[in-house]
Amino acid sequence: MSVVADLGISFGRVAFMMFFVLNVAALLGWVERKQSAIMQDRIGANRASIFGLRALGLFHPLADTLKMLAKEDFRPARADRLLFELAPFVSVFFALVAFASIPFGDTLRVGGREIPLQAVTLNVGLLYVFAMLSLGVYGVMMAGWASANNYALLGGQRAAALMISAEIAIGASIMGVVMIHGSLSLMDIVRGQGRLLWGWVPAWGILTQPLAFVLFVTAGIAATKRIPFDMPEGESEIIGYFVEYSGMKFGMFLMTDMVETIVLAGLSTSLFLGGWQIPYLYAEGFRFPWGAAVALSPLLVTVLQVSAFVGKVGAVIFVLMLIRWTLPRFRYDQAMRLGWFGLFPLSIANIVITGLLLLAWESR
Binding site for another protein (CB under 8 A): 80, 83, 122-124, 127-128, 130-131, 134-135, 137-138, 141-142, 144-145, 153, 156-157, 160-161, 163-164, 167-168, 171, 184
Q: CA 325 → CA 122, 153, 229, 290, 364, distances in Å?
A: 36, 26, 12, 42, 46
Q: Which residue, 28 or 140, has its beta carbon nearer to another protein?
A: 140
Q: Closest approach of Cβ 146 to another protein, in Å? A: 8
* Closer of 27 and 164 to another protein (Cβ): 164
CA-nearest of 209, 194, 304, 324 to 258 is: 324
Q: Which of 150, 320, 316, 147 is nearest to 230 (CA)?
A: 320
Using only C-alpha atoms, what is the Rg of the chain?
Answer: 22
Q: CB 345 → another protein: shortest distance, Å? A: 16
Nearer to another protein, 125 or 202 (CB): 125
Choose between 160 and 304: whose C-beta lies nearer to another protein.
160
- For residues 104 and 72, what is the distance between their CA atoms, to the nearest angstrom? 39
Q: How far is the CB of 313 from another protein (least distance, A)?
A: 23
Our CB check for another protein shows the closer of 28 and 178 to be: 178
Q: 330: Cβ–Cβ under 8 A, 6 or more apart, which residues?
A: 228, 229, 231, 338
- Least separation in angstroms between residue 211's CB and another protein is 22
CB of 317 to another protein, least distance (A): 24
